[in-house]
Structure 1
Amino acid sequence: MSTIHPAPAQFFAFGGDNARGYSTHGDVLVNKTADGIDLNVIWDEANQVMSAWNKKRTALAALISYPTIAVGDAIPQTIGGDHFEEASEFGEPQSIATAPDALIVGYTFKDYDLATRATWKFLRSATAEQVYDLINRAMESDNRLITGTLLRRLFDPAPVLNEVGQTAYGLYTGTDGITPPSFAGQDFPSSTSHYLVSGNTALDPGDLTDAINQVTSKGFGIDGSSRLIVLCNPKEAEVISTFRAGAITNGVESKYDFIPSNSSIPYLTSETVVGQIAPAEWSGLEVSGSYGPAWVVPSYFLPQGYIAVVATGGPNSGVNPVAFRQHANSAYQGLRMIPGKDQRYPLQDSFFQRSFGTGVRYRGAACIVQVKASGAYTAPSWNWR
């Protein structure tokens, strides 16, 4: 999504001596870095990087989210559900209607900004690399902001209201009066929650199987349009890698074997793998292996002591569980780099601005497990934004 900015030359020209209000180069206080790079060139290249950055959000965020400009949506909470019936000679066929199990889900929206400031003497003495570093740090902060906000929405069951009074939900909680709709002849109790507690101080195969079953029983991750992935910290991924079919962990027998992906280091085994081995990488993320129908995707962005089983359709897919809401006006979408109060010297005073919000669209498309011995589920405390 492109951002409209004035031409770079406009940012450095000033004065009122000529017809267009532009001055000559002799009026510029500082126009090059210490290693001879024109500041106009840096600003122009930075804007090009912004454009590329807006087209490629982080791989992790894209796998769990779907971009939208809607304030909220009426989202069916199951996939499929319509059926043909045997035709009669004189009867009228049953028609497909708007899904009765659709839930009105809202999406929040907030504005965020960050500034870079430098004196003209710093710009005169700095190398181009030092100036680019300020821009790179701003983009890294944007990365953490988006990924962290989307993950917090997935891991936090607490609902919030958006600016028009619609509720932005987490996954099913079993406490808000909303019961998952029936699927494939299965009815679910009103206490159904997709935020589980392991009941042990260590992760076991039963926790993983329970989370997978919670998602697939609602109709997600069971066909070619989506895939089950286990998002977890590398610490939990290491535990999962020890699960073997028939082996007992915390008194629970494992139903599946963990099978290392193509990225694993070479090793010897007398066993034969039946079926497809998970790839080393998928959609830009490392895959450590598979457990049953799910691929295990470790990331240090994920909190320790939690796992998330997510049905994803791939980057930015419409079946992904979390909405990534942006402004309806495309000029306010994406990460924007804006010159500050003195537009003659944008690198001396620049603003980075991002506007977006979140909300869970499909409340049954993911399940979170917190690893702890007892008590109710509590959302993780994130130490990064």
Structure 2
Amino acid sequence: MTTLDPYLVPLCGSDSGYSTAGDVLVNQTADGVDLNTIWGEVAQILQIFNNERSRLTALLSYSTTAIADAVPQSVSSDSFEQASEFGEPHAIREAPEALLMGYDFKDFDLASRMTWQFLRDASAEQVRSVITRALEADNKNTTTTILDRLFNPEERLSPENHRVFGLWTGTDGITPPPYLGKEFAPETSHYLASNAAVVDSGDIEDLIRQVTSKGYGRSAGSQLLILANPVEGEMIQTWRKGVESRTGGPVAKYDFVLSSSAPAYLSEDTIVGQIAPGEFGSLPVAGSYGPAWLIESEFVPVGYVAVVATGGPNSAINPVAFRQHTNPAYQGLRVIPGRDQRYPLQDSFFARGFGTGVRHRGAAAVLQVTTGSTYTAPTLRW
């Protein structure tokens, strides 16, 4: 005869029917907080969390439910022509250089399992810490996946067999379209290697030139950002116009100017022009180099720098797409009760399905700081 584990015996009220409050093994934490209250808090926290997606990824990406989009790959405007007495004017139409950009999609999940004995002896703060760790894990996953798409030139396939591109690589047989009459070589790449052990002003100026030459970051409502790890960020902040940006390296074209949120400092220099704001998209701005604002983030790997043209959080002109499921019920980070839905905190699942793909291949350019001449993508999936 098989002996059942007493903790696996089904919980029930009387012999059958509805479960009653008296049947609950644990209904509050050690400090007297009702478990149902905490479960309700989880739903509210996730709603806020999904509405305020990671500030860094929001500046880089655009949310969509499409499996692919035909996206023009240059920024151009229409022009009038001189009218004639009998002629018909030409019509405005969608840019002919639109490219079908596919987006991949994967499901991710993480479990939270707490025994009734743990819940009985734990404080409410200990229980909430499990939820906090799940939120942090999701933020890390979405942020690193979007950055991986930005920094990785590898072409992929979506579940629907659409091509999922990175930035311009110069190796996939597709040439960037002309911008304002300027033609680009078929081998044009937005993945650069520095050929030096440290980043210098010439590297950043090259990245800015790659982006602006395709028409991005020039118009009102679009801002150039330098995304760097604090290691490279500290180096960038030392550059001064007319001075070598590294020993034996190029002379800087601009001064790095601290933002309005910088700590107070003494200077004999006079600042001409408007300084960068203290924050952009709720992210702190360290300062500016030329037309670009520097944002430092630990999510950016050491030895890599990117210049990105952004239209702000979740703008359609941002370089990367963040694909979600077409069904709103499956969008965002979700929490799902586990096997025993009467006591969801004991066994629950966090789930998110999403995908990425570059929308505007010319809206960003990235650099690997290396003594070599070939770009190698970083490993970002921690």
Report the TM-score when normalising by structure 2. Answer: 0.94
Residue of structure 1 in register with 2:166 after alignment = 170
* Counterpart code for 1:29: L
Q: Which runs of 5+ in 2 are unaligned?
A: 1-10
Q: Which runs of 5+ in 1 are unaligned?
A: 1-12
Residue of structure 2 in register with 1:207 after alignment = 203
Query: How far apart are the structure 2 equivalents of 1:154 and 1:33?
Result: 44
Is the alpha carbon distance of 1:15 and 1:106 closer, same or farther for their aligned partners in structure 2, counting shifts above 3 Å?
Answer: farther
Query: How far apart are the structure 2 equivalents of 1:164 and 1:324?
Result: 16
In 1, are the aligned partners of 2:152 and 2:166 still within 8 Å (CA)? Answer: yes
Is the alpha carbon distance of 1:227 and 1:337 closer, same or farther for their aligned partners in structure 2, counting shifts above 3 Å?
Answer: same
In 2, are the aligned partners of 1:34 and 1:125 still within 8 Å (CA)? Answer: yes
Query: How far apart are the structure 1 equivalents of 2:34 and 2:124?
Result: 9
Residue of structure 1 in register with 2:376 after alignment = 378
- CA deviation profile, 1:159-199 (whole Å, cap 9, x unmatched): 10001110111000011111100001110000100001111
Q: Which among 235, 240, 250 is matched to residue 236 of structure 2?
A: 240
* Counterpart code for 1:134: V
Residue of structure 2 in register with 1:335 after alignment = 333
Q: Is 1:150 aligned to residue 146 of structure 2?
A: yes
Post-superposition offset of 1:14: 5.9
Q: Which among 281, 286, 292 is matched to residue 294 of structure 1?
A: 292
* Counterpart code for 1:46: V
Residue aligned with 1:114, SS: strand
Structure 2 matches for 1:14-53, cutoff 5 A? 15=13, 21-53=17-49
Post-superposition offset of 1:214: 0.3
Is the alpha carbon distance of 1:254 and 1:23 closer, same or farther for their aligned partners in structure 2, counting shifts above 3 Å?
Answer: same
Query: How far apart are the structure 2 equivalents of 1:303 and 1:32?
Result: 43
In 1, are the aligned partners of 2:145 and 2:380 still within 8 Å (CA)? Answer: no
In 2, are the aligned partners of 1:336 and 1:353 still within 8 Å (CA)? Answer: yes
Q: Which among 60, 85, 91 is matched to residue 64 of structure 1?
A: 60
Residue aligned with 1:123, SS: helix
Residue of structure 1 in register with 2:119 after alignment = 123
Query: How far apart are the structure 2 equivalents of 1:23 and 1:300?
Result: 49
- CA deviation profile, 1:326-350 (whole Å, cap 9, x unmatched): 0000000000000001111100000
In 2, are the aligned partners of 1:64 and 1:322 still within 8 Å (CA)? Answer: yes
Identity, in percent, stands at 58
Residue aligned with 1:347, SS: helix
Residue of structure 2 in register with 1:252 after alignment = 250
Is the alpha carbon distance of 1:126 and 1:177 closer, same or farther for their aligned partners in structure 2, counting shifts above 3 Å?
Answer: same
Residue of structure 1 in register with 2:179 after alignment = 183
Post-superposition offset of 1:262: 1.6
In 2, are the aligned partners of 1:76 and 1:101 still within 8 Å (CA)? Answer: yes
Residue aligned with 1:290, SS: strand
Q: Is 1:352 aligned to residue 350 of structure 2?
A: yes
- CA deviation profile, 1:193-218 (whole Å, cap 9, x unmatched): 00011111111110000000000000
Post-superposition offset of 1:253: 1.4
Residue of structure 1 in register with 2:90 after alignment = 94
- CA deviation profile, 1:319-369 (whole Å, cap 9, x unmatched): 100000000000000000000011111000000000000000000000001
Query: How far apart are the structure 1 equivalents of 2:14 and 2:314?
Result: 48
* Counterpart code for 1:328: T
Q: Which among 134, 137, 148 is matched to residue 141 of structure 1?
A: 137
Higher mean C-alpha deviation, range 331-340 or range 248-257: 248-257
Post-superposition offset of 1:80: 2.4
Residue of structure 2 in register with 1:10 after alignment = none
Is the alpha carbon distance of 1:17 and 1:55 closer, same or farther for their aligned partners in structure 2, counting shifts above 3 Å?
Answer: farther
Residue aligned with 1:252, SS: coil
- CA deviation profile, 1:129-156 (whole Å, cap 9, x unmatched): 0100111100110000000100000000
Query: How far apart are the structure 1 equivalents of 2:115 and 2:171?
Result: 55
* Counterpart code for 1:303: P
* Counterpart code for 2:258: P
Residue of structure 1 in register with 2:366 after alignment = 368
- CA deviation profile, 1:289-309 (whole Å, cap 9, x unmatched): 100000000111111111100
* Counterpart code for 1:209: E
Residue of structure 1 in register with 2:5 after alignment = none
Paired residue total = 370
* Counterpart code for 1:139: L
Is the alpha carbon distance of 1:368 and 1:16 closer, same or farther for their aligned partners in structure 2, counting shifts above 3 Å?
Answer: farther
Higher mean C-alpha deviation, range 62-71 or range 86-95: 86-95
In 2, are the aligned partners of 1:370 and 1:377 still within 8 Å (CA)? Answer: yes
Post-superposition offset of 1:223: 1.1
Query: How far apart are the structure 1 equivalents of 2:326 and 2:12?
Result: 34
In 2, are the aligned partners of 1:14 and 1:344 still within 8 Å (CA)? Answer: no
In 1, are the aligned partners of 2:113 and 2:345 still within 8 Å (CA)? Answer: yes
Post-superposition offset of 1:251: 2.8
Post-superposition offset of 1:97: 2.3
Residue aligned with 2:173, SS: coil
Residue of structure 2 in register with 1:312 after alignment = 310
Query: How far apart are the structure 1 equivalents of 2:77 and 2:183?
Result: 13
Q: Which among 83, 106, 113 is matched to residue 109 of structure 2?
A: 113
Post-superposition offset of 1:88: 0.9
